[in-house]
Structure 1
Amino acid sequence: MSTKEEKIKNFDPSQPGLADASIYGLPFNAEESDIIIIPVPWEVTVSYGAGASDGPAAIFDASFQVDLLHQDFPELWKLGIFMDEAPKEWKENSDTYKALAQPIIEALEDGQDIAKIPALKTDLDTINAASDQLNNSLKKVVLKWLDKGKKVILLGGDHSTPLGYYQALATKHKDFGILHFDAHMDLRIAYEGFTYSHASIMYNAVQMPEISKLVQVGIRDFCEEEVAVALASDKIHVFTDKDLKKQQFEGSTWKEQVDKMIALLPDKVAISFDIDALYRWYCPNTGTPVPGGLSYEQAQYMLTALANSDKNIIGIDLVEVAPGDDEWDGNVGARLLFHMCGVLAKNNGLKTGVPIDFD
């Protein structure tokens, strides 16, 4: 059997990825890979768009078309990136409980009180219990890889999926912040009755004592409840898309804004990236579209700036990639994920090569 060194020597990154290989067509197995991607194909509580549970598969398929010579991290591929296989029941349960959730959502939209409809109240309790079970199951999977010394990235699924990931990180790190890229605050309290709603992920996260800061970037859609939660918490710092753009129109540079946001974070940072933080044309099929957003280059710049800072990136999740009839969403997701792998690797002292300078 070939060693990792032999595989690196014999692999040509300029050729198409190996069809029977893991993500990005790389030849390495899990043990040989420094970075493990955990897919979580789950979208139980979505109430508008759909398809996020198919995001991991779409990104995997698109990854074989990504050129491996990354300008910032030209030797990233040599570290090994491996996509784990999600337990079969995660996707099965997602489909089952999503179907169970739809009548609840429809009843709420009709103005009905779920507490007065015993069958729907029972289903709601069942869904909340199933979501809690997913969190516990995911936490165990993440800890398995962390205990083996791997760098772990979560790939959703909807934005409810990282909670078990944060719980795993919290067993290893007693104080960390979250850098949150999103169009939405996700600070609703048990949205539509779902304790672990995709719209409640950051509310649930900041209840964890280990999470000391939440810095939100690109926000452009929120409700009164979320604003109240944000203003009442000294953990939460919100940078709306409107305010960032206004400052730019009046002379602020993106670098100045990025430096200010990064400075608010504690020493240890997890990144949570909802793809709808970007302009709509990058993710035309994402579930809850909102006008405005960050450019891909803005997001890439900020991620790289964090990698080069004195902060320690302890984890990353990428969520809400929903494929459509074409391959565009998966393509953007695969490239953003590859950049995130480089960011995590470089920040943690792994060898990613010398950036290519064309000047």
Structure 2
Amino acid sequence: MKTVLISGAGIAGPALAFWLHRYGWQPTIVERAPVLRVGGQAVDFRGTPQLQVLDRMGLLPAIRDAQTGMGAIAIVNEAGAKVSSLPTEAFSGDVEILRGDLGRILYEATRDTTEYLFGDSIAAMEETPQGVEVVFDSGATRRFDLVAGADGTRSRVRALALRSELLHLGMSTAIFTTPNTFGLDREGLMYSAPGRSATILGLGADAKVMLDFASPEISQEVDHRALVAHQFSCDRWKVPGLLEAMWRADDFYFDTATQVAAEHYSAGRIVLVGDAGYGPGPGGMGTGLAVIGAYTLAGELAAHDHHTAAFEAYERRLRPYVQICHKQAKGGEKFLVPRKRSQIWMRNQTMRLMPYLPLKKMMAKGANAITLESYG
């Protein structure tokens, strides 16, 4: 039985393990976090191909059962008065789910057929004619037929094996959970000041808070909570209370919006999938792209006798779709964090027109721009 080591237990990694096991492989997933990650932002799937993959996995009913069911997001001024609205079709896709819930569903679908190594990561790799010799941070060494990097935009696998460029998209985001004391029932509020936006999504007893701001690329070494507090220190509305909640949150997440431009998705016996290989950034359908990428990679490995031909076919089929997702993500900061009050006003007026447009059809155009192969 062929073996594959997958770095990353987020979305792309378990999705790839699911399909590779079905095609007769023995997958192992290594994840640097000590336990399965929970929480995180809402992610969505849209368009026929993305839903087809979930349906072929048999997971679409479970994902629908756990979907957020979010309604519209009201855009308000600092006094809390509604000035516009963001319809659910613009941000929730055909089905929206919390990233942690999606990760749990994928883990439960693979834990009996995949070896999971939590609390460890890849320290070094050396390709040989027999496979890839992997040294883990724990000191253990093992050999695998293939290694797949599914470890996010700052992928260690990519850094060790492939050339790529990270393109900063002009904004950063902080996400955390706080008690839902806002009276929001599956609906949201969004407040914008020049270069900043604060969004609250009411999800039952909890609320998800997103604090977005225009920024250059920010080091992972700085105190991100202090940085966010400084960025939003002059804002009114509910922002002061949200900053207090941020300091108490135990699931605080911060990242700069980044797009991954890899010259190739593979090198030798090492391949990238999901954000590690082609993360589009906010608004680029990254989660749907990840599951389609995992499906395609596994299918091409099943369809070819040699991994080199499979990797070439995988990249050839997927790259046009990746380019569409990348194009869709660029410019997202102009919507989320307009830098001038006049730009905020224009954004809000555009939102008022959306209920009169075939929005769902427009949003699905890019998502449908790939036809899935029917692998064995």
Q: Quickly name the TM-score band, shorter chain normalised.
A: under 0.3
TM-score (norm 2): 0.26
Higher radius of gyration, 1 or 2: 2
TM-score (norm 1): 0.27
